[in-house]
């Protein structure tokens, strides 16, 4: 662990009550062609478990995934102490409480289902496209699409949503564009988790464009970490998931040492 990283961790290491809020895909788990096969790297899982055992430290996963899918890929059960924010903060899972959702109206669900069907039909001629159903919308994955055709896929679906649901929120990420009838972002997810946990400081980490919403809103007592190359609004960048796992291990050790 470099002196630069050690210095960056010093503030959150001594926070009275620390919330460690982590993106999943690309931050704890490698990006994969089959999104539902994503799993934490062993080193990342071990680091997360160490943080869960650290004094006055709360761990949360903050993802654009639907809550039900996030629980599958995170191998998360009802006995877990890890908080979850799915759908960019429109739905939560809380220890001792279970699911807490910001809700959905029947007309929104009906439109979601209709647009999902239309998007599947409109892109069926392109090999490799996956239109992922989500609680509050859907995502268009082009990771397995010929790069020459990916732009056409996104143009087709952009035009569809602009015509049928112009108020929906559009987000782009690594080989995915998401559309949702709810407008929460990871910034609001972290803010709600901070309030729910009474955290005095937050470490938030992510690798994608949607994570920048949260990174840009962190305060002077917080720490933002970007997994990957800059630019980013994060305070520090680490090159990859193993390096980030090492940083989390160091934080867990420092949190425990500070309480001795």
The CATH number covering residue 63 comes to 3.40.50.1000
Instruction: Calculate mean pLDDT across residues 133-146.
Output: 96
Place of tokens 């289902």: 113
Do 17 and 72 lie in one domain? The reply is yes
Q: Is the pLDDT of residue 102 over 90?
A: no
- Residues in the chain, total: 260
pTM of the model: 0.89
Instruction: Calculate mean pLDDT across residues 236-251.
Output: 97
Write down the pLDDT at residue 103: 75
Do 94 and 174 lie in one domain? The reply is no
Out of 180, 199, 230, a domain closes at 180
Percent of the chain with pLDDT over 90: 92
Do 40 and 13 lie in one domain? The reply is yes
Give the three-state DSSP class for 157: helix
Do 82 and 111 lie in one domain? The reply is no
Environment class of 255 (CB within 10 Å of its CB; exposed 0-12, middle 13-18, buried 19+): buried
Count of the separate structural domains present in the chain: 2
Give the three-state DSSP class for 63: coil
Do 200 and 97 lie in one domain? The reply is yes
User: Tens digits of per-residue pLDDT, 181-222?
Assistant: 999 999 999 999 999 999 999 999 999 999 999 999 999 999
> Rg of the chain over CA atoms, in angstroms?
19
Do 139 and 195 lie in one domain? The reply is no
Write down the pLDDT at residue 5: 82
For residue 198, give both structure tokens: 């009474």
The boundaries of the domain holding residue 40 are 3-102+184-258
Do 150 and 248 lie in one domain? The reply is no
Do 97 and 193 lie in one domain? The reply is yes
Do 32 and 97 lie in one domain? The reply is yes
Q: Is the pLDDT of residue 169 over 80?
A: yes
| C-alpha neighbours within 13 Å on the C-beta side of residue 70 | 27
Out of 180, 199, 223, a domain closes at 180
Do 76 and 18 lie in one domain? The reply is yes
């Amino acid at each position: 662990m470099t002196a630069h990283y050690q210095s960056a961790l010093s503030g959150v290491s001594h926070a009275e009550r620390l919330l460690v809020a982590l993106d999943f895909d690309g931050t704890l788990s490698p990006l994969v062609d089959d999104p539902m096969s994503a799993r934490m790297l062993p080193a990342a899982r071990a680091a997360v478990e160490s943080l869960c055992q650290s004094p006055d430290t709360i761990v949360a996963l903050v993802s654009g995934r639907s809550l039900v899918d996030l629980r599958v890929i995170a191998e998360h059960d009802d006995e877990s102490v890890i908080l979850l924010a799915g759908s960019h903060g429109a739905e939560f899972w809380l220890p001792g409480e279970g699911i807490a959702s910001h809700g959905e109206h029947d007309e929104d669900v009906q439109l979601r289902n209709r647009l999902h069907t239309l998007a599947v039909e409109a892109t069926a001629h392109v090999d490799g496209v996956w239109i992922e159903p989500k609680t509050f919308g859907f995502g268009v994955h082009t990771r397995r699409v010929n790069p020459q055709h990916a732009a056409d896929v996104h143009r087709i679906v952009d035009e569809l949503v602009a015509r049928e649901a112009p108020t929906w929120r559009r987000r782009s990420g690594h080989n995915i564009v998401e559309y949702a009838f709810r407008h929460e972002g990871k910034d609001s997810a972290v803010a709600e988790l901070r309030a729910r946990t009474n955290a005095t400081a937050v470490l938030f980490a992510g690798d994608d464009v949607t994570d920048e919403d949260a990174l840009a809103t962190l305060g002077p007592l917080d720490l933002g970490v970007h997994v990957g190359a800059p630019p980013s609004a994060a305070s520090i960048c680490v090159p990859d998931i193993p390096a980030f796992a090492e940083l989390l291990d160091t934080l867990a050790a420092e949190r425990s040492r500070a309480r001795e």
